[in-house]
Structure 1
Amino acid sequence: MAFYSKDVDPVFHGAGAKPGLDIWCIEKLRLVPVPKSSIGKFYSGSAYVVLSTSVLKSGPTQHDIHYWLGNDANEVDSALASDKALELDAALGSCAVQYKEVQGQETEKFLSYFKPCIIPVEGVFATQEGALKGDRYQVTLLTCKGDHVAHVKEVPFSRSSLNHNDVFILDTASKIFLFCGCNSSIQERAKALEVVQYIKENKHSGKCEVAAIEDGKLVGDSDVGEFWSLFGGYAPIPRDSALGGPQQVDSPVTLFWISLQGKLSQIGSDSLEKDMLEKNKCYMLDCGAEVFVWMGRNTLITERKTSISAAEDFLRKQERSNGTHLTFLTEGLETSIFKSYFNSWPQTAETKLYDEGREKVAAIFKHQGYEVKELPEEDVQSYINCRGTLKVWRVNGHELSLLPASEQTKLYSGDCYIVQYTYPGTERDESLFYAWLGQGSVLEDRADAVFHMDAIVDSARGDPVMAQIAQNKEPLQFFLIFRTLIVYKGGISAGYKKFVAETGVDDDTYDEKKTALFRIQGTGPENMQAIQVDHVSSSLNSSYCYILQSGTSVFTWIGNLTSSKDHDLLDRMIELINPAWQPISVREGSEPDSFWSALGGKTEYPREKEMKKFIEDPHLFKFTCTEGKQVILSFLLFSGRIICFFLGSEVFWL
């Protein structure tokens, strides 16, 4: 429900009443509506306010507000757009999440509104747009990144702009060239093709040729020769070092209180509690690559404006990158990402089915006179520092491909990877190496993974620890250093693609256009995974939550034996996999026909609480009794059976 008053800009009247987008632009110090014919067209010299309204089946109307700042927009227009976004939020009843969007660094949520992409144009928005001057077509070179949404950016028309990791689009008067770097992903290439089609239809009226250029292909194709001639002839593109690349910097998480005068005062770092946030104050949470401003329900509009200005001044003075995302949250509308930075966050949702059953059982036992105590949560405490530096390489035959930081938590079951984790030890930095072998990987890649790991370890300093692990047999420590992990089906390596081509088996590599089913697992924000499984109903299990992606529909399936902790992990993983998704929540036993249809029909699946399997590798345990005379007993466990006891210096074999 909207709450309009005489102080609200009349241009906002009626905004958010219907699902869809409302867009305004700053023109001559006032906000004017952008006509539907111009939606998706953003001028680099202007500032915009965008409202996205959606109605979810599982809840009320949801509003998201974004203010977009072009790289050439002046400070006055930029500040006015920020104020108008806050004014719009107040008009909607302070029930929206606000995002600052900077040209070239937009969030995936924002880009998801515009299919397939936005391509900012030079100039300033005008209500009455004039005709384009000149009849010469401007040749442009664009880079296209992103698996879920397309981040399109114009780069200098020069050979030095090309590289092996990205996808590029060269738009000329008569032909559009698509150049795919050899290290670019299949998903990026698919997104880039959608952008090419968009350019063809909107800039060329569908009348131009399209040519695909493969990185490294030099002869036998006239399109290749024509492409390189536009750059003055062919010359090799420098190849990135496989073992090089910038170090990932892990910034401390810091919470600041923002005073009424806009002064920042640090009140906490890393170990944060929800109780630190008071209803009548505003706070800034600095997480390095992203910054949040949290505004209590009892704060005034003037206080919120001051807080937003204080946060923007803070980033400006620190000379933070334009890629630093700034999000504004009102109390009660916190995102899962924001909550994950706090040690605990009280659950406000209704009591879940499993919790209700557990409480009823406990009440019955208490009535019978038995004392009931809840078992403690499983111990997931790590024995090493999990705030170190992580580097991940994909094995590609005899070569290694270093994954960028944004991709290193996404593995494919058909590939093998080398993981290096460096963390501060007692006297020096320590290193831990894993060779992770996907269950669908080929034998040659597995052998190469071990070889590559040995080579890297030989060149490393100190005494690093090595481990070879297979998918689905990972130790807890592996998941804790990743914190968040997504495992897709299929593979990207040349070895996997060759195996698919030679055997003729179906290539089940993840594609967002195809049906996909993810099982959500883990114990908390520091240890959670989304594992893609076969998209059939027999893959379900009442002990887990799942995400089902089928075309334009996304379902979240909640098993009857899951707890509120599992539901929290489900919400967090949805936002991490694709923040643009708006899922339909489904409880076990109340699934619509479309859900079962996406899984190929309803069949039987496990409905009992899943128990831990036997420990297959040998493990040594020590038991100490401190009552009376101290007794220390150790035993060796293998395949779920105790092999022998150690009592003092004696060994008892069983």
Structure 2
Amino acid sequence: MKGVDDAFLGVGDKPGLDIWCIMGTNVVPIAKNLHGKFYTGNCYIVLSTSELKRGSRQHNVHYWVGEEAKEEHCVMASDKAFELDAALGSQAVQYREMQGEESDKFLSYFRPCIIPVQGSFSSHWRRSAEECDQTTMFRCEGEHVARVTEVPFSRTSLDHKAAFIVDTPLKIFLFSGCNSSVQTRAKALDVIKYLRENRHSGRCEIGTIEDGKLVGDSDAGEFWNLFGGYAPIPRDVPDAANGELMTTTSKKLFWINKRKLVPMDAHLLDREMLKSDRSYILDCGTEIYLWLGMATLVSERKISVTVLEDYVRSQGRSSIGQTVITTEGHEIADFKLQFQHWPKNVVQKLYEAGREKVAAIFKHQGYDVAEIPEDKPQQSISSNGSLKVWLVDRGSVTLLCTEEQEELYNGDCYIVQYSYVEDGKDYNLFFSWSGQNSVQEDRLASVSLMSSMSDSVKGPAVVGQVSEAREPELFFLVFKSLIIFKGGRSAAYKNSVLQKSNRTEGYQKDGAALFRVQGLRHDCARAVQVDLIASSLNSSHCYILQDGPSFFTWTGSLSSPTEHVILDRMMNKLFPLKQSFLLKEGSEPDHFWKTLEGRSEYSKDKCVKSWPADPRLYTCTFQQCLFKVSAILQITFSATRNHEYSQLVAC
């Protein structure tokens, strides 16, 4: 590609890391065995490629700046990161990482940590032999990723908040501050194992020292002798209210106009403020974002990156905070959250004309294109388990009989238990299901009762709270077939309905009703009662219409033969021994439309099943009276024993 360094051609095809070091005017690839080893006198470019569940690849480009790196190398790293983004189709998100201020995302690529080395990459062979012959001291922080910083080998470097590692030629010491968390100590142990294997070839003793517990401990005696004897550590100085400071810092939005920054009113940010033919800088205090419009020229983008670097230096924040460069259409979630209204991604519609032309070509070649084969759902749990369903009513539960446990009402709340045995062990799944029209009293009671019931069972239990129309596939798999009626049977729901009107709303066996029929596969289907109007129809689905003693089964023009089989099965379950009139879309009699209160427009677009989202795990904490949510990166789940957990988290 024109204007792109040859070192970047063909990269990003496989998941994993690619790292380059800036040396003079060249970009030098770093061997895999040296990944994670960064020198303070250099700048690096890191490309992280991950494969999403929907099959596409996601690219993140980071350029890491060492604290002793030359200014011209920093500028070159920024330019080369932009070239790498161009080689990837301008779809990557770029991050500027300063030594000591790296983002959690960047640190999560390297296990267990990164330990910057003094000097430059060109002298690494000489320094590698010297590392084992000197005593070094590190400060370790972080709960989900390890932040390791080399500190002066001195007693004054110690405090009560973090864990400290002292690496000597013969022994590695771990000093755990009394105010350090269990997670931080665990991360520090991982770092010690890494140092032992890589610096001492596994031949090194390890000593642990607990802050405040020093009497009669030989490791503690050796540790304090390194500092000339024991002396108490001063109390930690309370941190300034950084969280409060950042929340009061106003956001600043600038439009980049010919290398100049034009301030914009950023009191209330809205997505419509961003124009596709412009570039913008958004300063949020701890993070600075550069947003590049889709229609901006490559030359304008390069100028925008230069303006961003100049802005960071002019603010005196070259060594603190983080800068993120993102392109329109590929914004990260943290950037979108800065705006009051950000439209959701819209699933593109299929072009029917193109679809029909492609189908005609395949038919001419002799292929049957009546139906595209559907993906078989993964068997995540045993299908030979037992099912129990309880109705929640007035703070208590009523066990439903076998005939009723697959019939739910959208005005009620239920507790579902699915138990099965695998490899001689008992497993239990609990769901608290809330109908769309259920009342708050029943919803709160169902969660509390489910928690109590899950604590009383034998074997591991997984609990999940789901609501109507947002159930995970795992919920439907425990039912062979499920019917959801309108109305409710709980006393709280009936009282709520009576307060609004003098009649009880819901399904009437001898009345009129419309059911939408869907299925994951032939043995796992559901029928949901929808509003009795024509706009409830959709060409992608099949429906059952009841009008007193008369029944119609309606097949949409875009529905598949598999769905037609499911439709017949659900008709037999809903109305056994009843005959129905089969109607194809476009051949409906007047009586059909009369039952639906007349003809009206309904959706005739193909419902494209969205790709499953990649699982995300978050930790929620309160810091200085502020509720903080942080993403845990690089999470993994067991594929055997804990498959239920991965299914629930992914939903």
Same fold (TM over 0.5): yes
Return the offset for 1:601.
Answer: 11
Structure-2 separation of matches of 1:602 and 1:280? 42
Structure-1 separation of matches of 2:62 and 2:201? 31
Matched, 1:119 2:115: yes
Match of 1:9 in 2: 5
Structure-2 separation of matches of 1:232 and 1:134? 24
Structure-1 separation of matches of 2:81 and 2:284? 23
Match of 2:89 in 1: 93
CA 540–37 in structure 1, closer or farther in 2 if over 3 Å, else same? same
Matched, 1:580 2:633: yes
Return the offset for 1:7.
Answer: 2.4
CA 268–579 in structure 1, closer or farther in 2 if over 3 Å, else same? farther
Match of 2:252 in 1: 254
Return the offset for 1:160.
Answer: 1.0
Q: TM-score, normalised by structure 2?
A: 0.56
AA aligned to 2:465 is L
Matched, 1:307 2:308: no
| Deviation string, structure 1 residues 182-225 (Cα, Å, up to 9, x no partner) | 11111111111100100000001111111111001121111101
Return the offset for 1:350.
Answer: 3.1
CA 303–579 in structure 1, closer or farther in 2 if over 3 Å, else same? farther
Structure-2 separation of matches of 1:147 and 1:272? 33
Matched, 1:298 2:291: no
Structure-2 separation of matches of 1:302 and 1:210? 55
Contact 1:47 1:68 in 2 (8 A): yes
Contact 1:66 1:99 in 2 (8 A): yes
Matched, 1:320 2:245: no
Matched, 1:223 2:226: no
Matched, 1:23 2:58: no
Match of 2:79 among 69, 80, 83: 83
SS at match of 2:44: strand
SS at match of 1:578: strand
Structure-2 separation of matches of 1:579 and 1:601? 15
Match of 2:643 in 1: 598
Match of 1:540 in 2: 465
| Deviation string, structure 1 residues 406-440 (Cα, Å, up to 9, x no partner) | xxxxxxxxxxxxxxxxxxxxxxxxxxxxxxxxxxx
Return the offset for 1:579.
Answer: 5.2
Match of 2:408 in 1: none
Structure-2 separation of matches of 1:93 and 1:296? 14
SS at match of 1:328: strand
Q: TM-score, normalised by structure 1?
A: 0.56
CA 239–75 in structure 1, closer or farther in 2 if over 3 Å, else same? same
Q: Residues 141-540 of structure 1 correspond to what in structure 2 (within 5 A)?
A: 141-240=137-236, 248-249=244-245, 250=247, 251-261=249-259, 263-320=260-317, 322-350=319-347, 536-540=461-465
Return the offset for 1:317.
Answer: 1.7
Match of 1:479 in 2: none
* Structure with larger Rg: 2
Moved more, 320-329 or 159-168: 320-329
Match of 2:442 in 1: none
Return the offset for 1:335.
Answer: 0.9
Structure-2 separation of matches of 1:211 and 1:47? 35
Return the offset for 1:180.
Answer: 0.6
Match of 1:108 among 99, 104, 107: 104
CA 323–602 in structure 1, closer or farther in 2 if over 3 Å, else same? closer
Contact 1:177 1:227 in 2 (8 A): yes
Return the offset for 1:301.
Answer: 2.4
CA 568–600 in structure 1, closer or farther in 2 if over 3 Å, else same? closer
Match of 1:473 in 2: none
Structure-1 separation of matches of 2:463 and 2:617? 25
SS at match of 1:539: strand
Return the offset for 1:29.
Answer: 1.1
AA aligned to 1:97 is V
SS at match of 1:126: helix
Structure 1: 5+ residue stretches without partners: 353-516, 520-532, 549-559, 562-566, 585-592, 608-654
CA 594–226 in structure 1, closer or farther in 2 if over 3 Å, else same? closer
**Percent of aligned positions that are identical:** 48
CA 138–265 in structure 1, closer or farther in 2 if over 3 Å, else same? same
Return the offset for 1:135.
Answer: 8.6
Structure-2 separation of matches of 1:127 and 1:139? 20
SS at match of 1:248: helix
CA RMSD of aligned residues (A): 3.8
Return the offset for 1:266.
Answer: 1.2
| Deviation string, structure 1 residues 294-340 (Cα, Å, up to 9, x no partner) | 00011122222222222222222221262301100000011111111
CA 349–171 in structure 1, closer or farther in 2 if over 3 Å, else same? farther
Structure 2: 5+ residue stretches without partners: 350-429, 433-450, 455-459, 475-525, 529-611, 621-628
CA 570–259 in structure 1, closer or farther in 2 if over 3 Å, else same? farther
AA aligned to 2:231 is A
Contact 2:53 2:613 in 1 (8 A): no
Structure-2 separation of matches of 1:597 and 1:217? 38
